[in-house]
Amino acid sequence: MFFPSSLLVLAAAASVQAAIYDITVGSSNGTLAFSPEAIAANVGDQVVFHFQQKNHTATQSSFAAPCSPMEGGFDSGFNFVPANQTDNFPTYTITVNDTKPIWVFCDQAANTAASHCGAGMVFAVNCGADGSANSFTNFKASALAIGQQLKASASAAGTPSATVPLDASLTTAAYGTATIPAAPSESVVTVTVTVEASTWTTVYSSYPGSPAATPASLAGNVHVVQVGNNGTLAYDPPFVVAQPRDIVQFVFHQKNHTATQSSFAAPCLPFMAADGTPGADSGFMPVADNSTDFPSWNITVNDTNPLWFYCKQKKPDGTSHCGAGMVFAVNPVQSSARNFTAFQTLAATLNGTNATGAVSPSGSGVPAPSTTGAAASVGVNLALGLGAVLTVFATML
């Protein structure tokens, strides 16, 4: 008799008893770890956390933000166990409701150099296999990177256990004096993508109005950006909405400009990832006045996270093209306070002629406000249109 194979699998699953997984949190010698660190569990299985010495939690987070409580997620709260207690350890139990990954961390000493999560105290149920984007190895590495960042910030501030805000929640710029808005909250979405004859699963950060994670084609679309056209200190268009695999092609015109990756909090300084990897940089692209040959430089968009860029050229008076508003963005969240205009205004505030420490404010001065040209308007409409699609993805979380 013929049965569809999926029915056979369901029947087999139903006959299996729900399992109980015992996880040790901490240890008698003070280890900052969950043991085991990662398990695979079926729907209906239970995970029991056994809290040992010290004062730990089992708090649900997300792949994108390993050391931050997930909104609406579970949280054991703090379980203090004195060093001389040898049994009757407190427990906390969760039930596995579906096969999606569950990410967990210890919330002790959150956002300080002593963060347990930052020391790698994380745990996962049904994470991706090693080698996949959402593997346990990648999750733990990102928790450890947060720990490094917290330690670096604390030692820079000379306050070893002070509370240090992370980039996403920074309220002051990375240099100069300016208050900046918090980053819009992201949600991590796992979707199966089919493009042409290929299908794969992708995990990405989705923001309100993010473009789809689905590439337009295997080769991607090409977004051409004119740099310094007609002697302007501007990128045209000033920002683009791009999907993964799309290419942003910068075409350099007369003068001597760059397209250099930065970050929202430090708009006119080169970007560096938490692990020390530098950001993208075209380098200087000098173009003679009489030239009709315009060099290009490309970046490939890999996800839907915002990317921020500036021109690092300085003017003879010591101020910079960046401070004059020569900045660019890929996928800025236009509906949030960290929109393109906010980024450009911050660049002018921190590096413009009026910035503290800037050289005499003679000459040019205020940056021209960005003209939302045809391409940019299309981008906004695109973002709104695809937002609806993303809402559907988000409910699959």
Ligand X SMILES: *[C@@H]1O[C@H](CO)[C@@H](O)[C@H](O)[C@H]1NC(C)=O
Residue 127 host element (H or E): none
Length of the chain: 397
Which CA distances in Å does 84 have to 88, 89, 393? 12, 12, 49
Which CA distances in Å does 393 have to 189, 193, 242, 317? 7, 11, 18, 50
Site mask for ligand X (CB under 6 A), range 290-309, x = bound: xx----xxxxx-x----x--
Residue 133 DSSP code: T
Minimum Å distance from CB 24 to ligand X? Answer: 7
Find the part of the chain contacting ligand X (CB under 6 A) among 15-23, 162-170, 183-191, 285-293.
Answer: 285-293
Cross-strand bridge partners of residue 239? 329
Find the part of the chain contacting ligand X (CB under 6 A) among 15-23, 184-192, 280-288, 378-386.
Answer: 280-288
Minimum Å distance from CB 3 to ligand X? Answer: 30
Output the six-digit token pair for 104.
């967990």
Residue 157 or 337 with smaller CB distance to ligand X: 337
Residue 52 or 206 with smaller CB distance to ligand X: 52
Q: Find the binder of ligand X among 168, 195, 216, 247 (CB under 6 A).
A: 247
Output the six-digit token pair for 265.
């909090």
Site mask for ligand X (CB under 6 A), range 108-147, x = bound: x---------------------------------------
Find the part of the chain contacting ligand X (CB under 6 A) among 126-134, 162-170, 194-202, 348-356.
Answer: 348-356
Buried residues in 237-256 as b, exposed as e (16+ CB within 10 A) = bbbbbbbbbbebebbbbbbe
Q: How many residues lie near ligand X (CB under 6 A)?
A: 58
207 neighbors 336 (Cβ within 8 angstroms): yes
* Using rule CB under 6 A, residue 206 touches ligand X: no
* Using rule CB under 6 A, residue 277 touches ligand X: no
With a CB cutoff of 8 Å and minimum separation 6, the contacts of 392 are none
Minimum Å distance from CB 197 to ligand X? Answer: 21
Give the footprint of ligand X on residues 70-89 (CB under 6 A).
74, 78, 80, 82, 84-85
Long-range contacts of 268-273 (CB under 8 A, 24+ apart): 268/310, 268/312, 268/320, 268/322, 268/323, 268/347, 268/350, 268/351, 269/174, 269/175, 270/312, 271/308
* Using rule CB under 6 A, residue 97 touches ligand X: yes
Residue 165 or 318 with smaller CB distance to ligand X: 318
Separation CA 114–CA 136 (nearest Å): 22
Amino acid identity, position 90: P
Site residues for ligand X per CB under 6 A: 27, 29, 31, 55, 74, 78, 80, 82, 84-85, 94-95, 97, 102, 108, 175-176, 181, 222, 229-230, 236, 247, 249, 256, 268-269, 280, 284, 286, 288, 290-291, 296-300, 302, 307, 312-314, 320, 322, 335-337, 339, 341-342, 350-352, 354, 357, 361, 366
